[in-house]
Amino acid sequence: MQYQIILARRHNFQCVNAMTSHLEQLDYLTKEISNSFPGNEALISQLTTLITACPPTFTYINDPYTPRVTASLVNTLISSLSAVDATFFDDDVTPIIASAQVNAIACFTSRLFYDTTFNCLAKWRPRWEDGCENWPGAVNGLSSGGAGLSSPLKGGGEASLLNTAKAVRMVLVVDRAERLTESLPELLVPLTRLAELSKVDIHTIFISQSPWEDVKPSTGTAIDPFHLSVYPPLKEDTLRILTSRFPTDGDLAAMPHAYHPAFAELYAQYVSALFSTCSPFTRDPYELAYVAAAQWPSFIAPVLDAQKGATEFHPIPEDVRLRLLRVFLPSFAAALEALLPRRMHATAWSRMSDMADGVRIDEKNSEVTTCSLTTLQKYVLLAAFLASSNPPKTDARMFARGHEMRSKRRRGGGVRKTPQRNTKGALAKVGRGSFLVLSHHVP
C-alpha cells in the first residue's frame, strides 16, 4: 500500500516534471535552431508550437526569397522534434512525432513520392542485403491516388506506436510544393486534406516560392491552409549566417593558413564589405556564401604572403585591413557577375590569380571557341543570327507547306502593294542585340 502511494506520488511528480522538462527542452531546441538560422525566430517558435500543440491539418509556408534556407530550417526543426524521445515523458500531452520531408521536384513519380514518404515516416532504411525492400506497411496503400495514402498511414501510425499507447503525430513536409502542380497534380488536393481523408493525426506543410493562390487548384476542392510567410533576411541576420560559416578548424596553434581561426575577425569584415557590394543583386545567404567562399582564398593571399615564414600568427593592423578591403572592392562585383549566373564555379574562380581577369578570360575563351569553328559553322551561326530577326511571317512563308502556300498564289493582276511599314521599327522589335563575337571572324 505504502509502496503504491509512493509510486503514485512519484508518478505525479514525474508528470509535472515531464511537462516542464518537455517545454524546457522545446525552448532549448528552439533557441538552438534559432542560433543556426538567425532572423527566423518567429517562424521557428510558431512552427514548434504548432507541431507540438495542436496543429492545423494543412500549413502553407510561402517564402519567395530564400526557399532553400527555409527548407533546411524546417528539416532541422522537424527532425529534431521527432528525435525528442516522447516516451520518456509519461503524459498524454507530449506526442510522438514522425516526420518526412520530400521534395516535389525530386519525387517525379507518385511511386517515388510514396516510397520516400513511408520510408521516412517509419524511419525505415532499405538495405541491400534485404533486397532493398521498402517499409512493409506501405504495400497495401500503394495502389493509386491520394486516398490510397490513408490506409498505410494508419498502419504507419499504429506501427510506430512501438510499445506505448501514446498518440503518434505525423508531419509531412513538401518542398517546392509549387512544382506539385506539374509533377504530381493528382496528389495536390489529397495532400491538403490528408488528415481528413486518412483520419489520422497528420499535419501537412507545404513550402513554396509561389503564393497559395497560384498553386491552389481551380476546382476549389482543396482546403485553405494556415498561412505562414517568410520575410527577406535582414542584413544583420545574413551577416551572422555568413560569419558563422567561416570554415575554420579552430586550431589556433597552427601555422597561418587561409582558414586560420585568427582570421575570423577579418572574415567578418570581409563578409560585410561583400554584402554591401552584392546585396542589391542578391540577398540569398547561400548565394552570398558561395561568392564569399570563392573569393576568400585570393583575398587572404596577400595577408598570407606577409605572414610567410612566421612561426606564429601576427595580428593585422586596422589600416591594413581597410586598405585590403578597398583594393578588393571592385573584384567583389566581378565575382558576383561571374558566379551568380554560374558562368564559373567557385573552385575555378578561387584558383584564378587576378580576379579582374575573370571577364577577360571569358572573352578569350569565346574568342578561342570562335576561332576553332570551321568556315561552314561560322556561316551557319551567322545565318542563324540573321534569321532570328525575321518576322514570323517570313518563317511561315519559308517553312509552311502545301495548302496554305498554294492558296496565296493568285493569278494575274498587277503588282500588289505590300503595306508600308516602318521597317526600322519592325526590325528593332524582332531583332536581337548586336553580335560582336562573329563580326571579327567571318571571312
Partner 1 sequence: MSFVQEDVDPSQVVTLLGMFMLFALIPRQPVVYIPCDETATECDIDQLQAEGDLSGSYVARFNLYTAAWRKCLERIEHIVNSLHAPLVDEVVRCVHRAYDDVLPGLPYAELPVIAVSGTSTTQGFMSTLARQLETGQREDTEDVDSPPCSYITHLYPSDCLNIMSSMKALVTGFVDRPPEGQDIKRKAATSLANYDIELLKVWYDVLRDSAGLVLYLQASDSPLRNNVAQWVISPYVPQLSLVFVVALSLPNPSFLHATTRNIMVGPATLDFLADFTCRNSSSVEGVLLTLQLAHLKHFDEPLAIFVKDELLETGLRWGRLGHKRRCRLIDLYAEARADFRSHLFQSKLAFRMMRKVQRVMLDMGHRSAEIENTPLGMMSASLRGELMREGKYLGTMTKLVVLWAFSNQFVSSPIILRKLPREKLQTLLWELRSFFDELPGYLDEAREAHWRVATTVGLLEGGEGSNCALIAGEFGDWLTKYFQERIINLEDLRLGTSGIPARHHSLLRSGYFRPLSLSSRPSLTLQQMLNPAPRASIVSALLQPQTFLPVTHGNSTPQRLPIWKLPDVSVLFRRYLEAGRMINVYDWYESFSQVIESQRSHLAEDGGEGDSLDGEEWKMHVQARFMRALHTLDFIGLLRHTGRKVDHVMRTVFDMPE
Contact residues for partner 1 (CB under 8 A)?
103, 105-106, 108-109, 111-112, 115-116, 119, 126-134, 136, 139, 176, 245-247, 259, 285-287, 289-290, 292-294, 296-297, 345-347, 350, 372, 374-376
The secondary structure of residue 178, as a DSSP letter, is: G
Kindly give the pairing relationship between strand 202-208 and strand 168-175: parallel
Would you list the DSSP string of 51-99?
A: HHS---SEEEEE-SS-HHHHHHHHHHHHHHHHHS-GGGS-SSSS-EEEE
User: Is residue 60 within 8 Å of 208, Cβ to Cβ?
Assistant: yes
For residues 8 and 106, which CB has a smaller minimum distance to partner 1 in the complex?
106
> Using alpha carbons only, what angle is made at residue 205 by residues 200 and 207, rounded to the nearest 5 degrees?
165
| Least distance (Å) between residue 131 CB and partner 1 | 5
How far is it between the farthest Cα atoms of the chain?
120
| Least distance (Å) between residue 394 CB and partner 1 | 21
Angle between helices 235-244 and 264-278 (to 10 degrees): 140
For residues 180 and 195, which CB has a smaller minimum distance to partner 1 in the complex?
180
| Least distance (Å) between residue 142 CB and partner 1 | 8
For residue 328, give every residue at least 6 positions away whose Cβ sits within 8 Å of its Cβ, in sequence order, or none. Answer: 273, 295, 299, 355
Sign of CA dihedral 394, 398, 403, 406: positive
For residues 2 and 353, which CB has a smaller minimum distance to partner 1 in the complex?
353
For residues 3 and 128, which CB has a smaller minimum distance to partner 1 in the complex?
128
| Least distance (Å) between residue 413 CB and partner 1 | 20
Give the rounded distance of the alpha carbon of 71 from its chain centre.
7
User: Is residue 225 within 8 Å of 58, Cβ to Cβ?
Assistant: yes
The secondary structure of residue 418, as a DSSP letter, is: P
For residues 58 and 246, which CB has a smaller minimum distance to partner 1 in the complex?
246
For residues 197 and 293, which CB has a smaller minimum distance to partner 1 in the complex?
293
For residues 150 and 243, which CB has a smaller minimum distance to partner 1 in the complex?
243
Q: Which three cell numbers stand for residue 282?
A: 542578391
Tell me how far apart the alpha carbons of residues 393 and 405 are, in angstroms, rounded to a whole number. Answer: 12
For residues 84 and 294, which CB has a smaller minimum distance to partner 1 in the complex?
294
Neighbours of 248 (CB within 10 A): 16
| Least distance (Å) between residue 380 CB and partner 1 | 11
> Using alpha carbons only, what angle is made at residue 251 by residues 247 and 254, rounded to the nearest 5 degrees?
110
For residues 232 and 391, which CB has a smaller minimum distance to partner 1 in the complex?
232
Tell me how far apart the alpha carbons of residues 430 and 24 are, in angstroms, rounded to a whole number. Answer: 65
For residues 97 and 288, which CB has a smaller minimum distance to partner 1 in the complex?
288
| Least distance (Å) between residue 319 CB and partner 1 | 26
Alpha helices in 160-263 (DSSP H): 180-183, 185-192, 194-198, 212-215, 235-244
| Least distance (Å) between residue 62 CB and partner 1 | 19
Q: Which three cell numbers stand for residue 72?
A: 533546411
Comparing CA positions, the residue from 301, 277, 285, 389 lying closest to residue 351 is 301
| Least distance (Å) between residue 106 CB and partner 1 | 5
| Least distance (Å) between residue 111 CB and partner 1 | 5
| Least distance (Å) between residue 61 CB and partner 1 | 18
